[in-house]
Each structure stands twice: as C-alpha cells, then as structure tokens.
Amino acid sequence: MLHGQVGYQKVETNVRGRVLRVLERSNPTPGDDLYLNLDINLQKVSIEAFADKRGALVAIDPENGHLLAMVSMPDYDANLFVNGIDSKTYKALNTSWERPLFNRTILGSYPPGSTTKPFFALAGLETNNIQLDHEIFCPGYYQLKGKAHKYRDWKKWGHGKTDITKSIVQSCDVFYYDLAFQLGIDKMHSFMTSFGFGKRSGIDILGERSGLMPSKEWKKRVRKQVWFPGETVIAGIGQGYVLVTPLQLALGTATLANGGQHFQPQLVNAIQRKADQVPRQVNPQLVRTIPIKRQENWNEVHHAMTEVIHGARGTARRLNKPDLRYKIAGKTGTAQVFSVAQDATYKEDELEERLKDHALFMAFAPADNPKIAIAVVVENGGHGGSVAAPIAGKVIEAYLNQFSDEELKQSVRKKTAKTKKSPTPSSNTKPPKIPSAPAVKPDNTALIEREEHAHG
C-alpha cells in the first residue's frame, strides 16, 4: 500500500553501455498516503514520560477504537533503515538485551496482575456469583478447603472486612482468590475473552500476539494436563498462566469504559489513493457489544476504579492533583517476574533490575465521559501506583488539556496525523459517531512486603 509499484525501462545500448534508444518503459506508481489516528504530540509526551524505562504504552479513543498513542520503549531511529542499515548497527540493535526492535505494544506478553481485578469483579456481579453488597474478611491469606497452602495477600496482616469497592481501591488479593474460586476458570475465560483478552484484536498491522486467558480445555490441549483449583486461585489476581499484551489491556479498558462496546483498534484513519482525490475514511469497526445485565454492576466497578485515584487510600491517589479538571478511573498492577517460595520474603532492594516486578496501570478519563483509555507496562518497574500510573497521568493530562470544561462533557473528535505528504482530509471524511451501548434493564505466590500505597 505504501510502497506502490516500481517502474522500469528496457533500453538498447552500444558496447560502451551508452543508451541508444528506449524499447519499453513502465512509469512507477506512487503508493497510497495514509492518515493515522496517532496523535504526534501524545507520542512525544509518552516517550518523554518513559524516559529511560523499558515497557509499552497504548492509548485508545473508547468511542471508536482509534489508537491515539502506541509507544514501545526503548525505541530506535527508524531513519536508519531508509537507505539500508549497516550490519554493525543492525547487529547492535538486534542483540541488545533491551530489545529495541521488539514491538512491546503488540508482541509483549505480560502477567496483568491486579489490573484484571475490575474485570473479575464485574464478572462476579454479572454472573450473580456475588451481589453488590458482597463482603469477605481478609486475614492476609487464603486457603482452599482441606489444603495447607496459603495464598498470600500483599498486605500480610490483611485488609479485614472487604467489599467490592475496597477490594479494588486497596487491591485486596484475598477477595479475588475467593472470587476466582467461586467463578471457576472456564467462566473467567468466557467473560474475559469477550473483552478481547486471550485473542488477537485485529489491529491493522501485522505480528500481533494473542496473549493467553487459560481454560481447562486449553491446558488439556496444550499441556496435556488437567486443571488444578490452585491455578484458578492465582489467575484471580492476574498471575499464573494469564498473559496480556499492552494493546489488549488498553482495549479491554476501553470496552469497560464505554459500557461494553468492543471495537477493533485502528491505526489508519484515512487512505488517499491520489494526491487530487479526497481521502477515503476507514470507518470504526464494532466487533461486539457485551450485554449489560445490570447497569448498577458496571457503575459499581467504575466507582471503585475512580476511588483508586480519588479515594483517600487508593493505590494511585498520587494522580489526584488539586487542579485536576476531571476524574480518572483506573487500576494499578504489580506482576511477579519469578515465583517466591511459600516461606520466603520478596526483597526488592536485593534483586537485580531484570528480576524486579513489572509495574502496570490501566485507566480511562474523564471517568463519567471517557475520551481516552490507556494501559502502561513498565518492565521491572516495581510498583504500578508509583511508576506506571504517573506515566499514564502525564499522557491523559496532555490529551485532555486540549478540551475546554464544556468539551470534556461532550463527544469531540480530534484531527488526525498523516504518514506521508498530502493535503489535509476534508471535514466530511470524519467517521460517523458510534452510539454508546444501550442500557439494559434491570501455584506459588509470594509473600510480598511493601507499602500499601505502592501496591498494584
């Protein structure tokens, strides 16, 4: 599409190579011009926010699936490939342990950690496994009946009485160990795949990985083994076999934000065949609409995610600035890179960098009228609330600062950027607004010692 067709000519020459005449000629055909949904300023802000950290960031417009930012760090100078990269430079890029050529946004597979908790809470509510007033007592660990093994909460002394909101705001692991056991892995698999986890999204570039949302059938087919209850328990906090790409996490967050509309993520906004033609708009693709059984269930999860940032004990409360013009809904996450023995203690300060936990954060804003959904993964960053959340906060702020207070309350489309030199698309090429989803009537876990505010 971008390359076009190469031209050629057949010529007659003399013995000295001088052209005597042209026998046949085919002129080159220029490639198409592509207009992208990516916001170049948001790309720059994202890269600056990452600084020297490794990881990925994906930001999406929840209204249509347009990709606003896609950043994989560390990056590299793509201009090196324009006229052919020399072997020494290519070898340095290809063998670097930081893997700059590896597109983490669609190829990186990470344990999502606690960022799955809002989804599992909604799964429990929508399947009637729990009710809005559901509450447990968290002593700091969870045990399966008849088993001695203790599945530890990050807070070793426990959270005490914990309801749905508190479980998300303070990221109570025990709540989700218990909920996962009630749901069962197959019900978890079915619910999560509807949000796009464990399958390719269909993004308009090649090479995407599918991540993994396990099931009994998957383990029997791939591992030739039966599924164990303990594997369900740890899947409840986004560990074990569960893997997601940053794109999947951002897309799932967008679907959660907009009330169940799952769009195909799109980089390309418009295609222009010739310079004198009007660019052809690439319309949003609504893949599915997740049925809402009770709007109150979705509202409860959204409220809890908002308290993660704006609540007094939220794990990402540092994003709640006094001058913030909007509310953010989000969830922090911390994912183990390696397993810690039952009687061992995780000591972050004694680990080399590549063994430290990954830091994650997912969010959407404004919380009551989402215009951006975002997912951030910082490899070996440590804590989602202190490392990944501030990166997302800078990107959200940069994007929403372009809107007035009144515009933040209504749907506003943004102009797109282009990849090749061509005239600006006419205003009539903007995609039609997609209506919001209609409301329906109504086995090893670590003992981790860390500060509450830093936990994901």
Distances (CA, A) of 70 to 38, 103, 187: 8, 10, 31
DSSP state of 454: G
Which residues form the catalytic set?
A: 114
Question: Which residues touch 11 (CB under 8 Å, ≥6 apart)?
Answer: 19, 20, 21, 22, 23
b/e string for 322-353 if b means 16 or more Cβ within 10 A? eebebbbbbbbbbbbeeebeeeeebeeeeeee
**Rounded distance between C-alpha atoms, residue 261 and residue 244, angstroms:** 19
Residue 78, token pair as written in the block = 């793509």
Q: Which residues contact 206 (CB under 8 A, 6 or more apart)?
A: none
Contact of 404 with 441, CB cutoff 8 Å: no
Going from the C-alpha of 154 to that of each of 136, 201, 236, 366, 444, the distances in angstroms are: 16, 32, 14, 30, 13
Alpha-carbon gap, residue 77 to 328, rounded angstroms: 34
Nearest to 174 by CA among 204, 206, 140, 150: 140
If we measure between CA atoms, which residue out of 223, 117, 126 comes closest to residue 176? 117
Asked if residue 388 lies in contact with residue 335, where contact means CB atoms within 8 angstroms, the answer is no
Closest CA to 239 of 113, 149, 151, 110: 113
- CA distance linking residue 132 with residue 452, whole number of Å: 25
Question: Please, which residues have CB within 8 angstroms of residue 443's CB and are 6 or more apart in sequence?
Answer: 149, 228, 230, 231, 234
Structure tokens at 209: 């990985």
Q: For residues 309 and 316, is the Cβ–Cβ distance under 8 A?
A: yes
* Cis check: omega of the bond before 431, within 30 degrees of 0: no
CA-based end-to-end distance of the chain: 43
